[in-house]
C-alpha cells in the first residue's frame, strides 16, 4: 500500500487534482481497499488466535499451521472478492474527498452501491469488532481471574511482598486493557 498507492495520492495532493485518470483511480481504489479490508480480517484472526492461546490453551497444544494458512488464504480470497466486486458491477471506485484520491463509492446510488456498503459494514466492521471485543474481553477476564487466584495463593507471604505483587499484577492488567482497546480501535480506523 505504501509503496504502490501512497505516492499516487501525494503527487495528486501537490497538484490539487487526481492525475492518474480513471484506470489509475480504479487501481488505487482496489489496492487501498484490498490492503485495508484484509488487514481488518487479519487483526480479527489474530484476536481469535490469541483467544485460543490464552483462554482455550488446551486447544492451542493441538494446533497445526495448516488451519492457520487456510484461514489466512480464505481471508485474502474473501477480501479479493469484495474488492473486485466494484470492477464487475457491484458498486464502483470513485474519487474521494476533495478529488485527490479514490475509494469505494460509499454514497452513490448506482450499481447497487447501498447493498455493497451494507454488506461491507456487516462483514468488515460489525462482525470483526464483535469478535475482537469477545476475544480480548475473554482474555482480559481470564488474566484478571488468574491474577486474583495467584494473589489469594500468595496471602501467606509477608504484606510488603504481597502489595508489590499486587501492584505488578495490576500494572500488567492495565497494560492488557490498553492493548485490547488499541487493537479494537485500530481495526475501526482502517
* Coil/strand/helix, residue 125: helix
- Domains, the chain, with CATH or none: 6-189 (1.20.1070.10)
The residue-averaged pLDDT of 52-66 equals: 77
The per-residue pLDDT for 150 is 64
pLDDT tens, residue by residue, 71-91: 999 999 999 999 999 999 888
User: Residue 52 and residue 68: Cα distance in Å, rounded?
Assistant: 12
Enter the pTM of the model. Answer: 0.75
Q: Which of 51-55, 58-62, 138-142, 185-189 has the lowest mean pLDDT?
A: 185-189
Q: What is the pLDDT of residues 105-117, one digit of tens each?
A: 888 777 678 888 8
Share the mean pLDDT of the chain: 83
Residues linked to residue 101 through DSSP beta bridges, in sequence order: 96
Q: What is the pLDDT of residue 60?
A: 63
Amino acid at each position: 500500500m505504501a509503496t504502490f498507492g501512497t505516492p499516487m495520492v501525494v503527487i495528486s495532493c501537490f497538484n490539487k487534482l487526481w492525475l492518474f485518470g480513471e484506470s489509475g483511480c480504479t487501481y488505487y481504489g482496489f489496492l487501498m481497499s484490498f490492503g485495508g479490508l484484509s488487514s481488518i480480517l487479519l487483526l480479527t484472526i489474530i484476536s481469535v488466535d490469541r483467544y485460543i492461546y490464552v483462554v482455550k490453551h488446551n486447544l492451542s497444544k493441538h494446533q497445526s499451521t495448516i488451519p492457520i494458512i487456510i484461514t489466512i488464504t480464505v481471508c485474502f480470497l474473501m477480501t479479493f472478492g469484495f474488492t473486485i466486486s466494484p470492477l464487475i458491477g457491484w458498486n464502483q471506485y470513485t474519487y474521494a474527498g476533495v478529488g485527490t484520491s479514490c475509494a469505494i463509492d460509499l454514497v452513490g446510488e448506482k450499481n447497487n452501491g447501498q447493498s455493497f456498503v451494507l454488506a461491507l459494514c456487516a462483514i468488515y466492521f460489525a462482525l470483526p469488532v464483535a469478535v475482537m471485543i469477545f476475544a480480548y474481553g475473554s482474555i482480559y477476564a481470564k488474566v484478571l481471574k488468574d491474577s486474583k487466584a495467584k494473589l489469594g495463593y500468595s496471602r501467606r507471604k509477608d504484606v510488603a511482598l504481597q502489595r508489590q505483587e499486587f501492584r505488578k499484577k495490576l500494572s500488567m492488567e492495565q497494560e492488557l486493557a490498553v492493548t485490547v482497546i488499541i487493537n479494537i480501535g485500530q481495526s475501526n480506523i482502517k
